[in-house]
Amino acid sequence: MLRWILALLLIPFLDAILLGFVATAYIGWVPMVLLVVLTGLVGMLLVRAEGRRTIRKMQRSLAEGKPPTNELLDGGFLIASGAFLLTPGLVTDLIGFLLVVPVTRIPIRTALKRYVIVPYADKKTDGFASGNVWTFGFPGGSAEQDEARAQWSDGGTYDLGEDDYTVDSEESYTVEFGDERTDDADVDDDDPYAR
C-alpha cells in the first residue's frame, strides 16, 4: 500500500519537474500556464460528454437486462481521467486524455479486464467467476482429500438392479429400494404432511 501512495506522490512531482523544464527551455511560463489551463478545460468538457454517453449506455444495458460491466469500468476511467486532467502537468494530461477518449479507453479497458479483473475474480472464487465448474470435491481442496473422499464415496448414485423397478404404464413406475421398513410406524394421524 505504501508503494502505491509513493507512486501517486511521485507522478505529480516528476510531472512538475518536466513542466518546469519545458516552460524554461522551450515555450516560457505564460504559454505553459495557458496550456495547462486549456488542457484542463478541454479535458473537463470531454469528461462531461463521455460521462453522459456512458450513463446512457448504462441505462440501455440495464433496460435490456444485461449487467453494465463495461460501462462501470468506463465510469471509473472517466473519474480517473478527470483527476489526471485537473492535475497540472504534461504526463498527467496525456494519461487523462488516453483514459477519456473512447479510441484509447476501450483497449485499456479490455486489457484491464483480461489481465487484472478476471484473474483477481478467479483467484477469489477459485475459478468459479469465469465459468469453471467443479465436478468432484470442494474448491480449494487438496488432491489427497479428493482422493480420500473418492475412495469411500460413491458419488451419490444408487445402483438399481434389473428387478428393482417396474413400469406399469407409460405414465407411472415404481422403484424398490430394498428398504424393509414399514411406513406405519412413522405415520402420525394428526400431521397432514406426514407420509
Domain membership flag for residue 183: no
- Rounded distance, CA 45 to CA 94, Å? 15
Domain membership flag for residue 116: yes
- Rounded distance, CA 159 to CA 175, Å? 12
Is the whole model's pTM more than 0.85, yes or no? no
Give the mean model confidence (pLDDT) for residues 6-35. 84
- Rounded distance, CA 124 to CA 128, Å? 9
> Which residues constitute the domain of residue 41?
7-122
**Contact 41/93 with Cβ under 8 angstroms?**
no
How many folded domains does the chain comprise? Answer: 1
Give the mean model confidence (pLDDT) for residues 22-40. 85
Q: 32 or 176: which carries more pLDDT confidence?
A: 32
What's the chain's average pLDDT? 78
